[in-house]
Amino acid sequence: MALAICDHVWQVGGSGFSAANDAAVYLVAFGDRAALIDAGCGPGHARVLTHISEALPGPAQVDYLFLTHCHYDHVGGAEALRRHFACTVVAHELDARFLEQGDNAVTAADWYQACLDPLPIDHKISGDKESFQVGSCELQALHWPGHSPGSMVLLTEIAGRRILFGQDVHGPLHPALLSSRDDYINSLSMLQSLEADILCEGHFGIIRGKTTIRAFIQSFMG
């Protein structure tokens, strides 16, 4: 079932939720408007839909699907979600090109013995920051390069707490993924400066408390 993280935020996909290889899929909903963060690999699509229906209090429109980066465990299910919800798929322009080309190497689809069909991106973020409105909630997309050239995180504030969706804070870094260690270290420092109260990570689950989050981020800076 969907995991309630705090008011208006749920985990609806990921290993143990939808399919074994899925990165975490998060849902943010305010009133009758909602957004998804990442899409899993795709085979767990039906379970993701079930968990979304459990979490949403009533009929709601999913306006956005944010793809935090181009890797297959985060994007393989994107087209099915777009067709189901007629939502706008958003990615940073530096990763969008690999999705639109169906590049199986840079997207790591090869690592999963899978093939990524070319995935059109409806809205491409350029630069370091862009804001999106989901009901009464503002989500900030922040460029976070290192793990991939166009990785991004999303940040919002709910009831005085800063919620950070930082998929794959842990990396990994690999030449085939066009990773940059210098960018990654700089990006980790940027994450620490955000002073999040809750970190929703792609594979390590939910991390709570500023001190614990800072220590988690610091552990990858060595």
- Residue range 155-209, pLDDT digits in tens: 999 999 999 999 999 999 999 999 999 999 999 999 999 999 999 999 999 999 9
Task: Report residues of the chain scoring pLDDT below 70.
Answer: none
Cβ distance 5 to 11 under 8 Å?
A: yes
Sign of CA dihedral 65, 26, 114, 47: negative
CA distance 197 to 134: 20
Question: What is the predicted pLDDT for the residue at 117?
Answer: 97
CA distance 84 to 38: 15
**Residue bearing tokens 């999303």:** 154
Tokens 């988690």 belong to: 216
188-192, long-range: CB < 8 A, 24+ apart: 188/146, 188/217, 188/218, 188/220, 188/221, 189/221, 190/142, 190/144, 191/144, 191/153, 191/164, 191/166, 191/217, 192/217, 192/218
pLDDT tens sequence across 197-218: 999 999 999 999 999 999 999 9
- pTM beyond 0.95: the answer is yes
Instruction: Classify domain 3-218 at the CATH topology level.
Output: Metallo-beta-lactamase; Chain A (3.60.15)
Q: How far apart are alpha carbons 108 and 125 in whole angstroms?
A: 21
CA distance 139 to 53: 22
**Residue 83 φ/ψ, nearest 5 degrees:** -60, -40
